[in-house]
Structure 1
Amino acid sequence: MKTTLLRAGLALGLVMSMSAAQAQQGFSFVALGDLPYGPPEKAYGPYRALIERINQVGPDFSVHVGDFKSGSTLCSDEEFANQREHFQRFKGAVVYTPGDNEWTDCHRANNGSFDPLERLAALRQRFYTPGRSLGQQPLAVQNQSSLMPSHGRYIENQRWMHQGVLFATVHIVGSNNNLESRNLAAAQEFFDRDAANVAWTEAAFEQAGLQQAKAVVLAFQADVLEAKSFWEDFPGGSGFRKIIGETLLPLASRWGKPVLVVHGDSHQFKIDQPFQFNKKPLPNITRLIVPGATDVRAVKVTVKNSAFSFEMIEIAP
């Protein structure tokens, strides 16, 4: 088993002025997603080995950014139960935000021809408990469903503070965030969730300001730049235009302090700074894309000496 270190030349705008004691001690969390992919007999073994490796590393907590199954496997109750059991293999806490494979794509015949909205309701019931994360040592979290009665369905939107950093999950998924104009129910679901996501993201930055946070970390599933056009990052038909282009980016620009965006979806490990607002780069936002699918690895993110560093967690070949 080996670990490959990718250090802070990539940190750029992620310098944080923490207290001397916090800076010396530091903390780490693990980001992963798009795992496990494939039939149980092939996918479960390597994924369980990765979880065991994460347990050996011993981060303060882990964040799974969705797609706990591939887009061509069943969305069955049995699969959901298996993935719930996987989350409980984490010796520490694990915070999970949904991906599109778990619900928006479940109408596909090779997924079992499920009703996506029924599967979304099942996810909320089976994977979320108000006030606590998953894992053997759950983390105390705040849920949007508890804090914002007008968005009472969105228990999956969570936030927590850790050593001066505000973390939040936002339910933003691939497949264009489920913006499907040909399906009235899907379109209504998108607009309702988009409004909830906007409110939750605004509240996260407001809370970060009130608590004098040193940085904000946002986690979601979708690669929001995957469908950008030559002229616009978020064209009119983009399901990410309002939540990212019109909400996150202006908020981060005004915030000015470091923002780390963690997502999956495209399966290609990357650390970059691709976002811009009003055609100007936003150097305070760094993006981490976790590996996934056939690339069964995770990323350990360490906050120490006023910077983020990134380290690959791998299993033996």
Structure 2
Amino acid sequence: MRKSLFAIVAAATLLVPGIAAADSDHGNNDHSDDSYEVGLFGDMPYAAYGREHYPAVLADMNTYDLAFSVFDGDAKNGSEPCYADAHPTDPANPTPENAVADATHPDIYQYALSKWATLKDPLVVLPGDNDWTDCDRTTIQGGRVSDSNDRLAYERTLFYPTDRSLGQRTIKLTRQSAQYPENVRWRKGPVTYIGLNIPGSDNNFSLGGKEGPAAEAQAEYAARNAANLQWLRDGFAAAKADHSRGVMVVIQADMWDPTATVTHYADTKKELFTQTVAFGGPVVLVNGDSHSFEVDKPLTDYATTNAAGAAGANVVENFTRVTTFGEYQNHWVSVTVDPDDPNVFQFHPHIIAANVPTYTPPA
């Protein structure tokens, strides 16, 4: 018998005001009022350590009845080469191909697909910077670089071949276009979900050097950024037209990472601010990239003096950000959407006991 999240006492529960329900195969037009549960994970497996722990994460997710799960990017770490089976490539790509898969180094994208295929419930996958943006870094192990644009095109072919999700059971998705099939939207109950290709590494805006060819990255960023902003606007317009009570946006990048360059997320933050304030209901942003579970409210307005008269901006209070586990913390997060709960939207971290290290006490 499958477990119910409502029976979990040990997991911490965090509440966000306002959101609600749906069903699996109806995808975009499910307006039912039943409660449901969603899985969130990403940034795994990272190297041998992660690959050892990853199966336990997927197995645990399979013990729950999830309406769907979302993988928020990074199916490997940033230093491992982006090994891929031989496939058609663009001869104009400026980066040499030094990461063709072989018996010793299997295709990392096919490996990801094989693991995702073990999930019983629907899975929506978004790209991460380690999967494509960082593939042309000169710091890749052994100098086995590959072209970042090629790897993104390869992901699009493998991960988004139809208008259905991945997983043994699937849901129907609305994809933005043939050019950007990874940008998706679907609805379940009174919640509209939006997935966007916004990766770490400053949204793939490169200044050259260790980050790969600058001109290629900047051209890719400009076109994709425009598409992302339009998809955000389209998603919120759809949410309003459907009378959604809440919106969840899922990306890979931590756009507020204090240790990283985040310059080229400014457009996204402004659009999120505009759309969130105009929407009025609860908006949740899910991201990976920083590898540690956190719930916070980082979005602010552009005031220089806040409502209390102090220096600084006002926090946008109907916006909540959730960062998922990753890297050395191989666990997952679930969301319970319950229309009968005044808060409606609850987050539960799931700590996999087998993946918890032996802690070192003080000397």
Fold conserved (TM > 0.5)? yes
> What's the counterpart of residue 91 of structure 1?
120
**What is the Cα deviation at residue 6 of structure 1?**
2.5
Q: For residue 232 of structure 1, what is the aligned residue in structure 2?
A: none
Q: SS at 1:132's partner residue?
A: coil
Give the CA deviation at 1:315.
2.3
| Separation in structure 1 between the aligned mates of residue 215 and residue 292 of structure 2, nearest angstrom | 33
* Partner residue of 2:173 out of 141, 154, 158: 141
1:120 is paired with a residue whose SS is helix
How far the C-alpha of 1:72 sits from its partner, in A, is 1.6
How far does residue 314 in structure 1 lie from its aligned partner after superposition? 2.8
Query: 1:148: which partner in 2?
Result: none
Residue 287 (structure 1) aligned with residue 293 (structure 2): no
Alignment of 1:93-108 (within 5 A): 93-108=122-137
Alignment of 1:9-24 (within 5 A): 10-11=15-16, 14-16=17-19
2:217 paired with 1:201: no
**3-state secondary structure, aligned to 1:239:** helix
Q: For 1:268, give the aligned amino acid.
A: S
Correspondences of 1:158-173 after superposition (within 5 Å)? 158-173=184-199
Which sections of structure 1, spanning at least 5 residues, go unmatched?
Answer: 146-151, 230-234
Distance 2:50 2:351 in 1: 15
**Alignment identity in percent?**
30
Contact kept? 1:29, 1:59, Cα under 8 Å: yes
Q: Given that residues 50 and 327 in structure 2 are in contact (C-alpha distance below 8 angstroms), is that contact kept between their aligned partners in structure 1?
A: no
- CA drift of 1:80 comes to 0.9
SS in 1 for 2:133: coil
Alpha-carbon distance in structure 2 between the residues aligned to 1:16 and 1:102: 32
- How far did residue 243 of structure 1 move? 1.6
Larger Cα-atom Rg: 2
Q: Taking structure 1 as reference, are residues 158 and 303 closer, same or farther at Cα in structure 2, changes over 3 Å only? A: same
Deviation for aligned residue 1:59: 1.0
Q: Pick one of 57, 72, 95 that aligns with 1:50.
A: 57
Pair 167,18 (structure 1): closer, same or farther in 2 beyond 3 Å: closer
Q: Deviations over 1:29-83 (max 9, x none)?
A: 01011111113xx322311111011010121110000011011212112111100
Give the SS at the match of 2:11.
strand
Larger RCO of the pair (alpha carbons < 8 Å, separation 6+):
1
- CA separation of 1:115 and 1:217: change in aligned 2, threshold 3 A: same
Q: Residue 216 of structure 2 aligns with which residue?
A: 185
Cα deviation, residue 7, structure 1: 2.6
Q: Partner amino acid for 2:334? A: K
Secondary structure at 2:271 match in 1? helix
Greater strand proportion: 1
Matched to 1:38, the amino acid is A
Partner SS state of residue 95, structure 1: strand
Q: Does the Cα contact within 8 Å between 2:39 and 2:69 map onto a contact in 1?
A: yes
* Residue of structure 2 in register with 1:74 after alignment: 81
Q: Following the alignment from structure 1 to structure 2, what is the Cα–Cα distance between the partners of residues 17 and 312?
A: 19
Looking at structure 2, the residues matched to 257 and 208 of structure 1 have their Cα atoms a distance apart, in angstroms, of: 10
1:258 deviates by: 0.4
Note if contact 1:26-1:303 (Cα within 8 Å) is conserved in structure 2: yes
Amino acid at match of 2:323: I
Shifted more, 27-36 versus 176-185: the winner is: 176-185
The answer to whether the Cα contact below 8 Å between 1:268 and 1:291 also exists between their aligned partners in 2 is: yes
Q: Provide closer, same or farther for how the CA distance between residues 224 and 114 of structure 1 changes in structure 2, counting only shifts above 3 A.
A: same
Cα displacement (A) at 1:284: 0.4
Q: Which residue in the other structure is 1:149 paired with?
A: none
2:279 matched to which residue of 1? 255
TM-score of the pair, normalised by structure 2: 0.77
